[in-house]
Homo-oligomer: A and B are copies of this chain.
Amino acid sequence: MRAMTVEPGRPGSFEVREVPDPTPGDGDLLVRGLAAGICGTDAEIVAGEYGEPPPGSDLLVLGHESLGTVLQAPDGSQVRPGDLVAGVVRRPDPEPCAACAHGEFDMCRNGRYTEHGIKELDGFGAERWCVPAGDVVVLDPALEPVGMLVEPASVVAKAWEQIERIGERSWFDPASVLVTGAGPIGLLAALLGVQRGLDVHVLDVVDRGAKPDAVAALGATYHHDGLERAAEKVRPDIVIEATGVSDLAFGAMASTAAFGIVCLTGVYAAGRRISVEAGSGYREMVLENDVLFGSVNANHRHYRAAADALAAADPTWLGRLITRRVPLDDAVRALRREDGDIKVVVDLI
């Protein structure tokens, strides 16, 4: 079968190549890959900055934003052949740490988890893939054109769950959210904010493309005039930072209303120093009981919430997020950013 592959640590090693078909183990599903979404983590792996191959191999099958159809399921499985599914990216560490042992492997304490397409497990960017039957979420068949958005939506569903649980440490009834960044994570965060009945604002920091229309179609407000001005207008109860820009992460702290919650979801670049007047920021955090927290990955609960959120959304709106589709043989093109890209998808069939 064909698969998107890379030798982690070796830039320029990305290649669509023939690899042996996977063999399902006991309790595994065999899935026909339909599509894989591409994100910044894939780009980092292809650049040689991240990723680990399975033990004993040099090659890693890339792809963690998945969509497929079940070809074969173990006896007694709740998942059936023909089901539309997305794979869960992370598996608990084998030890496991206590968080993993409690199913909260997105909060793994020892870092020895594995991740499909990222860390020691082959990914979903292939014509066939296998996972344990419990490690997929079954999707509404109507989601076939957009179901590869479930993985990024699961990251957002977790972020929202964490925001709500943190907010509920005291009286909490938020009215507004400012999402910084209008990429797939930012737009999906805005969608889930609208589904919660909040007044949603999206701050775009790069090219506009289809984004203003996508934001407006949600009933949310599009901002393009910088964090300070947007924050002044909105005074949000919640900020979801989805750009990965450190200055915005720092600035977000000062932009909230009292009892504000800032959720960082980006992968911030190390190395660049910024000069900040931190004292005022920290003082305000204390005097306003503000929270800044990071959120990564998602567990089964969040995949289920994500699948439900996408099923409840306007399919046309979800389709707008997918701005390019590339056939598997041309997958290298999906990894090069182009103007106007929101989500780029590799078709596997």
Contact = CB atoms under 8 A, between A and B. Distances in A.
A293 B294 contact: no
A104 interface: yes
Given A109-B258, A293-B290, A294-B287, A246 B171 contact: no
| Contact-residue size bin, chain A (C-beta under 8 Å from the other chain) | 35 or more
Contacts of A71: none
A170 B99 contact: yes
Interface string A283-295: 1111111111111
A286 B257 CA distance: 22
A48 to B, nearest CB: 18
Contacts of A267: 283, 286
Given A111-B258, A171-B107, A291-B293, A277 B286 contact: no
Nearest to A165: B169
Interface in A320-348: none
Contact of A171 (B99, B111, B168, B278): B99
Contacts of A281: 268
Contacts of A161: 169
A162 interface: yes
A86 interface: no
A258 B111 CA distance: 8
A258 B173 contact: no
Given A249-B282, A279-B246, A279-B268, A257 B292 contact: no
A142 interface: no
A268 B109 CA distance: 31
A108 interface: yes
Interface string A306-328: 00000000000000000000000
Nearest to A290: B294
A109 B274 contact: no
Contacts of A280: 268, 270-271
A92 to B, nearest CB: 12
Interface string A88-108: 000000000011001010111
Contacts of A110: 258
A273 interface: yes
B259 A283 contact: no
Contacts of A166: 166, 169, 291
Contacts of A108: 258
Q: Which of A161, A257, A280 has the most CB of B within 10 A?
A: A280
A272 B279 contact: yes
Contact of A273 (B173, B258, B276): B276
A110 B259 CA distance: 10
Interface in A139-164: 161-162
Given A102-B171, A275-B275, 18 more contacts: A98-B173, A104-B170, A104-B171, A107-B171, A107-B259, A107-B289, A109-B258, A162-B289, A165-B168, A165-B169, A246-B282, A264-B282, A268-B286, A270-B283, A272-B277, A273-B277, A286-B295, A291-B292
20 contacts: A102-B171, A106-B289, A107-B171, A107-B258, A109-B257, A110-B258, A165-B168, A166-B166, A264-B282, A265-B286, A266-B282, A268-B278, A273-B276, A273-B278, A275-B275, A276-B278, A285-B294, A287-B294, A289-B294, A291-B293
